[in-house]
Structure 1
Amino acid sequence: MPPHRVNYRANIDALVTLGAEAIVTVSSVGSLREELPPGTLVLPDQFVDFTKQRPTTFFDGGRVYHVSLADPFCPDLTARAVDSGRARGVEFAAGRTYVCVEGPRFSTRAESRFFRGLADVIGMTLVPEVTLARERAVCYLCVAMVTDFDVWAERPVEVSEIIEQMHRNVTRMHGILTELLPRISRSASSCHC
């Protein structure tokens, strides 16, 4: 399913209905930085939204509800992810900015150069999920797996290379999630997101 067609509201509501107190997402992204090569695992702490057609709130009817997104990602979950990575010998690139685009197409070279001035990684699935989680007062963490350099690097993006890197990233993420999830279940109620 293309990223702009995902029913993010239904997904978040289903998780909340099932009692989720924390959401950890794993996302494939392109790198906008030389120092974040394919294979890097990124923990963003900010995002920039360049989506166009997605419902971004649960409150689009008569009722208005303003939610702060100054710090959109849970600092407690981020710290636990860093600890879990270290326990598995993996270092994260933390404190980075994720620019979310509509998709499903990749960026033009001009767009990619523009986005480099705003963010460190580029993906298609973070927004509106992160904002909807905040509206439901659920802790949220995104682990962004770099699969390629975005087109600013003057190398064409090959889907086969992205898929190959994604498979390598998934193997490492399995170990990290095995370490992280028990840490979350013991402490999710102590966070104040």
Structure 2
Amino acid sequence: MQLVMSPNSPYVRKVCLLVREAGREAEVEEVAVATTAYDSHPTVLGANPLGRIPALIRPEGPALYDSRVITRYLDDRWHLGLYPEKRLWEVLTLEATAEGILDSAVSAAYEARLRETPDQRWMDAQWEKVARALDAIEGRWMSHLAGPLDIAQISVAAALGYLDFRHAARDWRAGRPDLSAWAARFAERPAMRATMPPG
């Protein structure tokens, strides 16, 4: 299989974290491409008509895209149990919360980096969404994050890593001691160290 990717993408990092946690690096070739919101790389377009990464090229069918689709596929293929049936709806909800954090954080980063005159009101509104989601995790989800490894934990870790990478000045840790402590522990995992964005 081939993973069409960019190492700076937090959606890609989520997939790469799963692959490394599963110990299956030898089965997934990472094909790094230079692609942007304005100019999608031909390899990306060949795998995903939306021009977005990650995309997974697999031998038995059409390419898969969207990090949630890819991680669900790999979990099923490798029987990892990262979507446990007994906690499925909680896992999916927390995964969706992490993806929502990423959607808002990436949108704000694009606004800051790609526009000649960034819309500060827009960026602040995106951060308010991020902050509310972080508060919800701090207030309601910490017991879940303390449980056995699942895709929700991987997703939250990828989201928090992106906040450090692109929004460090916002200091997401302030007022969230439990989530901050969890993130520090999770960051020590070899998979997290191996997938640090190069910048």
Question: Do they superpose with TM above 0.5?
Answer: no
More helix by share: 2
Q: Which has the higher contact order (CA 8 A, sep 6+)?
A: 1
More strand by share: 1
TM-score by length of structure 1 reads 0.29
TM-score by length of structure 2 reads 0.28
